[in-house]
A and B are shown apart, each in its own frame.
Chain A
Amino acid sequence: MSTAPTPAPEDFLRVQGEEEFTELKRRHRSFVLPMTVFFLLWYLLYVVFAAFVPQVMSVKVFGNVNVGIVWGLLQFVSTFIITSLYVRHANRSLDPLASDIRTELEADAVREGAVPARASAPDPEAPVAEEPLA
């Protein structure tokens, strides 16, 4: 079993207050929380319209395709777009910062000798394969 060294409780408390970590947390939350509110509202708006204003949904757009079908397909499109945006945000703004903090903490833990160094945990800096479909 490959387990990274476990830092001491004080290390976690210290890191939690450090600027680097609060910045990581801010970047994470300032993306995921507003985005969640957005897609939930966008979805609920659609559901409420489908239930209570079906006459809007039945307006023809082209051929037999109506607003309801288009709006439904737009839910698919928005899901795919949000997925891609998040992956880009995480790769660019979150992962480098997270791996800095992790490396630093693991180095502290090894120095303190709390737990023997890991034998063969995955290298966080290792080149990663192409992002699938994103």
Chain B
Amino acid sequence: MSTLPLAIPLAADAAPATQVGNPWINIGIFGAFVLVTLVVVLRASKNNKTAADYLAGGRSFSGGQNGTAIAGDYLSAASFLGIVGAIAIYGYDGFLYSIGFLVAWLVALLLVAEMLRNTGKFTMADVLSFRLKQKPVRIAASISTLAVCLFYLLAQMAGAGALVSLLLGISSRAGQSVVIIVVGALMILYVLLGGMKGTTWVQIIKATLLIIGAFVMTIWALALFGFNFSALLGGAVETAGTQAVLEPGLQYGKSFTTKIDFISLGLALVLGTAGLPHVLMRFYTVPTAKEARKSVVWAIWLIGAFYLITLVLGFAASALIGADAIKAAPGGVNSAAPLLAFHLGGSVLLGIIAAVAFATILAVVAGLAITAAASFSHDIYGSVIKKGQATNRQEVKVARWTVVVIGLVAIVGGIGAQGQNVAFLVALAFAVAASANLPTILYSLFWKRFTTRGALWSMYGGLISSMVLIAFSPVVSGSATAMIPGVDFHLFPLSNPGLVSIPLAFVLGWIGSVTDRTKEDPAKQAEMDVRSLTGVGAEGAVEH
């Protein structure tokens, strides 16, 4: 195969060489997506009457629909552009991400999804505070929900800005900021109008487009190698000029510290998913625990198939375009998938893939916003401020205002986070979720003696330790790619805190409980135990 970066000069007649394809095609296809989804959102919003409608989609989605929506929520731009790019540049090490992201779903399937659906209503805090003291536990759970959602949001918004330079030919900071504002405004519109129902439909449409688009590219790329995967790997080796692309170590094999760092990342990935609030909230959109189980099964198959596709796409980009050409393109690592699309199918395929990438960001951002809004309105406003006396109407109203505030924060933060390391923010979100949320979720579902103090120690301990360790890690200062260049106050050698903060949070939850003399209400514990396994008293679908 030719190793020349053919893709880039082809576009030179239409625009400067810093940009590939035809921006008007990209904008046109994206505009069509926005129009279609807006119509769907408007139709879906007609039945938004109660809080269960607005915040949990009326609990009336089927397992298959919700599973597709979960895949839509989970396969963010970081998954699609990030993993394809990581494989294209670092070879095998990029593949390791997708394995962690997939295996993580077994934690959700076996330990969390069904029991969560059986015991909660809207948020993660419903489950955590079920048999513990409502107020302190809800506040802690809500703070960590908002923290995780915010980091995830900023990563997606920053990713949107970075994509623009490549896809729309807007490279100025001001131009990128305009795009971030547009994405933020659209997100607010979707969530205000459609609530969880509208958001779910956006996720379903987007997941379908993303998987079909990536699948077409995969078949196309494989066809170039006679449908021989080994030959495709051979092409990647030939372009890279080294066998190392097929072996672990290009990114994480440099030193003992980077190897430990990799294990830390692996731990955060596999344990983070089942603690991500926007993933957990999706389990409330189905009528029963059995449907929640089906959702996860669907999600595992779709997400697994998608990551297999990204393996092919990543090595195809590596073989057909080459790591150096990708790194040199605007958008850097993130440009591997769009460049491959352009190489295969010209401006039209690039336009489709570009539009899908934007849709991905938009849909994930909408899912995060509704989660954060639900947590604030239901946990902080409804349960703590109004002490459970808030009406449905009030909770929905507060949720809507929260969406507007979160949208504005995301826009401002996204503009500020431009050029920041996007993968860092996503990995932070996973590490915080695995440290602050997962231990408490598992303890409250599986351990009878767990107490309020254990929950608070574990949640605050996990949240604070993971954030502090990141603040003093090489990602923030003291390395070539640090967020704050030029200064060095790093004290912690790893860029991912998971290896320390996750076990710490588990230990804190245990010590906090066993040293606690106060006994939690055994009747509440019995109720949660029985409900979590049988589904007695769980809220069913809303009837219209």
Contacts and interface: CB of A to CB of B under 8 A. Distances in A.
B67 interface: yes
Contacts of B481: none
Contact of B110 (A43, A47, A86, A99): A86
A31 B110 CA distance: 9
A76 B304 contact: yes
B96 A50 contact: yes
B530 A16 contact: yes
Given A12-B530, A79-B106, A124 B288 contact: yes
Interface string A34-77: 01100110011011101110100110001111101100110110
A82 B293 CA distance: 13
Given A36-B107, A80-B301, A133-B298, A2 B541 contact: yes
Contacts of B130: none
A4 B106 CA distance: 30
Contact of A76 (B109, B234, B308): B308
Contact of A106 (B230, B260, B536): B536
B527 to A, nearest CB: 4
A128 to B, nearest CB: 7
A16 B290 contact: no
Interface stretch (B240-248, B357-365, B414-422): B240-248
Interface stretch (B134-142, B262-270, B377-385, B466-474): B262-270
Interface residues of A, number: 73
B304 to A, nearest CB: 6
A95 B290 contact: yes
Contacts of B535: 98, 102, 124
Given A13-B523, A80-B301, A4 B538 contact: yes
A66 B246 contact: yes
B522 interface: yes
Among B247, B288, B524, max chain A CB count under 10 A is at: B247
Given A7-B536, A76-B99, A12 B233 contact: no
Contact of A133 (B260, B301, B307): B301
Contact of A32 (B100, B110, B536): B110
A132 B246 CA distance: 34
A46 B248 CA distance: 11
Nearest to A62: B230
A110 interface: no
Contact of A43 (B103, B111, B233, B536): B103
B534 A101 contact: yes
Task: Give the secondary structure class of B's interface.
Answer: helix
B237 interface: yes
Interface string B92-115: 100110011011011101110000
A54 B530 contact: no
Contacts of B52: 1
Given A68-B92, A76-B99, A76-B102, A1 B542 contact: yes
B541 A122 contact: yes
Contact of A79 (B63, B105, B230, B260): B105
A3 interface: yes
Nearest to A105: B536
Given A39-B103, A98-B535, A132-B67, A13 B526 contact: yes
B110 to A, nearest CB: 4
A99 B535 CA distance: 8
Contacts of A5: 537
Contacts of A31: 110
Contacts of B538: 4
Contacts of B247: 54, 57-58, 66, 68
A83 interface: yes
B95 A12 contact: no
A83 B287 contact: no
Nearest to A101: B534
A36 B63 contact: no
Interface of A: 1-7, 9-10, 12-13, 15-16, 21, 24-25, 28-29, 31-32, 35-36, 39-40, 43-44, 46-48, 50-52, 54, 57-58, 62-66, 68-69, 72-73, 75-76, 79-80, 82-83, 86-87, 90, 94-95, 98-99, 101-102, 105-106, 118-122, 124, 128-129, 131-134
Q: Nearest 3 A-B pairs (CB), nearest first?
A: A63-B230, A64-B233, A50-B248
7 contacts: A25-B529, A29-B446, A64-B246, A66-B247, A68-B248, A82-B106, A86-B109
